[in-house]
Chain A
Amino acid sequence: MTATFETPIETTVSLTIDGKIVEVPAGTSIHKACESAGIDTPTLCWAENLTPVSVCRVCVVEVEGQRALAPSCARAAEEDMVVETDSDRVRHSRKMVLEFLGSGVDLDQAPELQKWMEHYGSDTSRYDQYELPALKMGEAPKIQDNLYIRDYDRCVLCYKCVEACGDDAQHTYAIAVSGRGFDARISTEFDVTLPDSACVYCGNCIAVCPTGAIQFKTEYDLRGADNWRPDEQEVTRTVCSYCGVGCNLELHTQDDKIVKVTSPADHSVTSGMLCIKGRFGWQYVQPLDAPTRKH
């Protein structure tokens, strides 16, 4: 038979996930393979538009023949692999990872994680009994300008903001992980304020943060006033009017006011990333400090 160049050969691998045979293109992650088999997997440090760092370990699965569990977000599916996503070991690890996080980080604004904690029976009260200083940093949120705030009591150290600010999108490197072990923190050099740092206010760190540790000042203020109502918000898709690149914007409005701006993570131009103009440059529509009315 002669090979034809017009039809590239799509290599696939077939593996067994929870007893079901699943066929996926070679190179697909186990996580994606699970998704195609209709199995929901928790993720935290993984995102479509970022390089996997595999640090949170909430997505682990059991791969037959391997001693340790594997991070499904980064491990590629292989031919004849046998994967368990709901074994005792997997459930235990997911439960404990979430429990550890919940015991030390404020996850109030991470409903997805809370759902999974409930699913796996994570019980953070097991740690309340310690008569030792609480794990939480108890740090005041960093409010250094009127564009966005950083509240590291909510930070799970997923590295997403660092990736977005650095190699994966912005190449600005304004923030990095500092310290070591439990003292590790996301920080600028010497913890200088954002206006004193390399930050260009693209807000891409906000876009990727899964826990609300970094958020629009508008959102922060509304939450503080107990007036953040995401269910009632309208999302309008439009194109940024500043330059010819054509970034798609999603304007989130509440009570006819823009409260935050995002871009779709799967958009071919932006991959969810914007610059300061698209992200924050809407003052010509509405001044930044416009008082927001509670109705």
Chain B
Amino acid sequence: MADLYISDEMADDAEIAAVDAALGGRFVVVRESERFVRAGTSKRHDHRHLLLPALHALQNAKGWISPGGLNHVCETLQVPPAEAYGVATFYDLFRTDEPTQAGDVTHVCVDAACQIAGSGKRIAALRAQSINVHESPCLGQCERANASTGEVAEFVQGVGGPDRVEADERPYELFHQKGDESLRLLKRIGVVDPTSLASYRAHGGYDALTAAMAMGADAVCTAVADSGLSGRGGAAFPTGIKWRAVAAEQGRPKHVVANCDESEPGTFKDRVVMENDPFAVIEALTIAGFATGAENGWIYIRGEYPLATARLQNAINQALEAGLLGDDAAGSGHRFTIEIRRGAGAYICGEETALFASLEGFRGEPRSKPPFPTTHGLFQEPTAINNPETLLNVLDIVQIGADGYRSRGTDRSPGTKLLCLSGRVARPGVYEVEFGTTLGEVLELAGGLTGSGELRAVLMGGAAGSFVDGSYLDMPITLEHARERGTTLGSGVVMAFTDEIDMVDILVRISQFFRDESCGQCVPCRIGCVRQHETMVVLQQKGSLTPDRRQLVDDISQVMVDASICGFGHTATNAINSAIELGIVPGVPS
């Protein structure tokens, strides 16, 4: 990069030490007063992917990103300060102004599951104790929300010390299928020691990688394609097609990415897996690398998952030590390593192209598709990106074969599905069910309804999904039935609402979520989300919508669905539209 202009503000020792530690001392900062050109603009992106880790280090050191700290990072990584500032201000976990209250920040979830469990009260109580509270979107711990105890999801962002989730310090007791023989994906949860490779191996760990290597890369891709496995991150794209496409790419290097951003309100399945069976994610990603011929594995995990991050890092370290990762990963003759990157509070970074931009050190703005990630993914190089649940399925596919895998589920939705049960159910938690199980059976599995006991609606697939009512209890949980009946499984959210709940409050919050989380790049979504939220606030204030405003709801929705760039804008009006269609919004005719 040609001569950067960097102001006189300097980082202090704490900031420099934190950044240097985060970057592994890889850099010698060059300070030159005269103009010099490093290697043209092509050098510009060389170290840029370290921007996010460096910003995390600054934020953690002082509780905010100071001008001096940012200068130090910009000089080290050769990133223009205006761009680095643009990146820092994109994320919820970063501050660029000095906080008035120093010290740790307690993030309290205000999204639906916690909202109806009383997060408002909890926030008031914490603030009364002068605790520094930040109202947060879904923290991926929705099963912890409990209306009778008043517990809601919390995450403490440390300053000078580590980030933590206090609930993680207690044993995890919200998994209710422990030891169930029929489990495929969750069979080790609560059974295996998540910190030990030996324990993982004793429970069948790394048998799948051995099987995959015996089959050969091509046969693995074929088995995955034949199994009918489709993506569990929300879009249900056939995994076999994706892997074959990347395997066929001649360009190097290639990447496989585990999309562990899990920020869809109501979703927490990936967290439960990563915390309790982290080696399985590492093994499955290794198989993905082997099958696609990718040498680089990446885990992009949301910043609010400190325990999962630590467990995954520990698993990577142990796998490296045992030679299961590295230059000759598991004796495959194939180099494969995995690096973890933490997000910083941005739902949109779960969208695959936004995730690439974020990981590369740019603002998490989605890119236009085509070109697709299989040819132009991370660093514009061929990339297979999958949800961890998708990857987990591959462990079984390579061991029991595509036919064995298809023995469960339906023809068009083979296998099992992880569902995130939350809201007014007696035993919230993640459940593995066979495709074809009905919605009613699933609610029973979670102990049935609590609250008033009278079902008002179920939110399927998260805030980007849709509401259904009691007439859907007989719907088999499959991709085809969901599509046929105009709803979605999305990321596996099943959140129950009983009839004492004010649905308008829920819709106001959902619209606020989209308003806050839009990347802001395209006009339909940037302004449409604001207008949608305003309409819901007016509804809340007035108790009904005038015909003009009712029309506006449809007009806003139409342009967002038709003209937005990415899936965020395409789905941001689903929940509200579906609630109106069901006739469960008082004051708004369907």
Contact = CB atoms under 8 A, between A and B. Distances in A.
A179 B517 CA distance: 11
Nearest to B79: A173
Contacts of A198: 4-5, 80-82
Contacts of A183: 520
Interface stretch (B151-159, B317-325, B501-509, B563-571): B563-571
Contacts of B100: none
Contacts of B5: 172, 174, 197-198
A74 interface: yes
A100 B85 contact: no
Interface in A168-215: 171-184, 187-190, 192, 196-198
Contact of A100 (B84, B96, B368, B527): B527
Category for how many chain A residues contact B: 35 or more
A180 B368 contact: no
A182 B67 contact: no
Interface in B508-561: 515-524, 526-531, 534, 537-538, 541, 548-549, 552, 555-556, 558-559, 561
Contacts of B561: 68
Interface stretch (A18-26, A126-134, A249-257, A268-276): A126-134
B496 interface: no
A181 B515 contact: yes
A272 B90 CA distance: 31
Category for how many chain B residues contact A: 35 or more
Nearest to A184: B520
B363 A177 contact: yes
A192 B89 CA distance: 15
A180 B5 CA distance: 25
Interface stretch (A52-60, A137-145, A234-242, A285-293): A52-60
B559 A96 contact: yes
A198 B5 CA distance: 5
B534 A130 contact: yes
Q: Is the interface of B mostly helix, strand, loop or mixed?
A: helix
A191 to B, nearest CB: 8
A190 B531 contact: no
A160 B156 CA distance: 39
Nearest to B566: A68
Contact of B559 (A55, A92, A196): A92
A183 B549 CA distance: 24
A85 interface: no
A225 B542 CA distance: 44
A89 B558 CA distance: 8
A82 interface: no
B34 to A, nearest CB: 17
A20 B558 CA distance: 27
B522 A190 contact: no
Contacts of B368: 54, 71, 74
Contacts of A100: 523-524, 527-528, 531, 559
Given A55-B565, A57-B523, A69-B562, A181 B70 contact: no
A89 B562 contact: yes
Given A57-B564, A96-B556, A190 B96 contact: yes
Nearest to A56: B523
A54 B366 CA distance: 11
B404 to A, nearest CB: 35
Interface string A34-46: 0000000000000
Q: Closest 9 interchain pairs by CB? A: A173-B80, A198-B5, A96-B559, A176-B86, A100-B527, A189-B81, A184-B520, A189-B85, A181-B518
